[in-house]
């Protein structure tokens, strides 16, 4: 499937209409439910085929951020055979008290995986915590970049953002 066709399918799968209260408190008549494309077993592998080409060659671990990055990192791990880690927003306060589950990130070249990036705020927090635990991180992969400013915001933290799609591209394909 072509990239434009996948973008159109992402839009058709995840764009819903109705009345929705956004995180900002504003009410919108449309909503983009990213979990709908992540949970689609026919669409997620198509996205992964595009995304795997963006993984830096020296990557040792794919770190999926809670919650949306985890299914994508898992699918990428299955496709590439690169180990995955599942990163919490906050380390557990019981049991192993880990921030990253699945694979030890200490001293490893880690590529962070996220579903949708708007400003990168949570990515920055997670990367800072992973770096404190010895992870070597310079690349963030995402399926969709919503806001072009995210590239600059993440670059200020020495992070390269590599999106599969921008939201503008997805919307343009949906209207073709």
pLDDT at 30: 84
> Mean pLDDT by 10-residue block, N- to C-terminus, for the chain (176 residues)?
94 93 80 94 97 98 96 98 96 83 96 94 95 97 93 97 96 88
Determine whether the annotation assigns residue 21 to a binding site. no
Q: What CATH number does the domain containing 108 carry?
A: 3.40.50.2020
- Residue 125 has a pLDDT of 95
Which residue in this structure is represented by tokens 């900002």? 24
Longest dimension (CA), the chain: 51
- The verdict on residue 12 lying in a domain is no
Question: Per the annotation, does 109 bind a ligand?
Answer: no
CA-CA distance, 106 to 172, in Å (whole number)? 41
115 is in an annotated binding site: yes
The answer on whether 133 is annotated among ligand-binding residues is no
- Residue 146 assigned ligand-binding role: yes
The pLDDT > 70 percentage for the chain reads 99
Instruction: Return the pLDDT at 94.
Output: 82
CA dist list (Å): 20 to 14, 17, 87, 129, 172? 14, 8, 28, 33, 23
Tell me if 5 is assigned to some domain: no
Supply angle C-alpha 8, 14, 17, rounded to 5: 110
52: annotated binding-site residue?
A: no
13 marked ligand binding residue: no
**Residue 77 token pair:** 């791990």
- Yes or no: say if 117 and 144 are a contact pair by the CB < 8 Å rule: yes
Q: Is 89 annotated as a binding residue?
A: yes
- Asked if residues 76 and 48 have their Cβ atoms less than 8 Å apart, the reply is yes
Asked whether residue 2 is domain-assigned, the answer is no
Is 131 labeled as ligand-binding?
A: no
Question: In the chain, at which residue ranges do the beta strands (DSSP E only) sit?
Answer: 15-21, 27-32, 61-65, 83-87, 100-101, 109-117, 136-145, 160-166
Domain around 80: 44-166
6 occurs within a structural domain: no
The structural domain count of the chain equals 1
């Amino acid at each position: 499937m072509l990239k434009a066709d996948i973008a159109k399918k992402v839009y058709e799968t995840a764009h819903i209409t109705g009345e929705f209260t956004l995180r900002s408190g504003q009410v919108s008549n449309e909503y983009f439910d990213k979990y709908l494309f992540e949970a689609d077993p026919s669409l997620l592998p198509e996205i992964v085929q595009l995304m795997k080409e963006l993984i830096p060659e020296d990557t040792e671990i794919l770190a999926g951020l809670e919650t949306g990055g985890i299914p994508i990192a898992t699918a990428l791990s299955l496709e590439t055979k690169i180990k995955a880690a599942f990163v919490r927003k906050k380390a557990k306060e019981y049991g192993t008290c880990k921030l990253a589950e699945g694979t030890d990130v200490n001293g490893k070249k880690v590529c962070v995986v996220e579903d949708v990036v708007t400003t990168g705020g949570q990515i920055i927090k997670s990367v800072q915590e992973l770096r404190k635990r010895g992870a070597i991180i310079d690349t963030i992969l995402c399926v969709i970049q919503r806001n072009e400013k995210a590239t600059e915001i993440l670059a200020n933290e020495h992070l390269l953002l590599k999106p599969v799609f921008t939201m503008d591209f997805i919307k343009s394909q949906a209207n073709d």
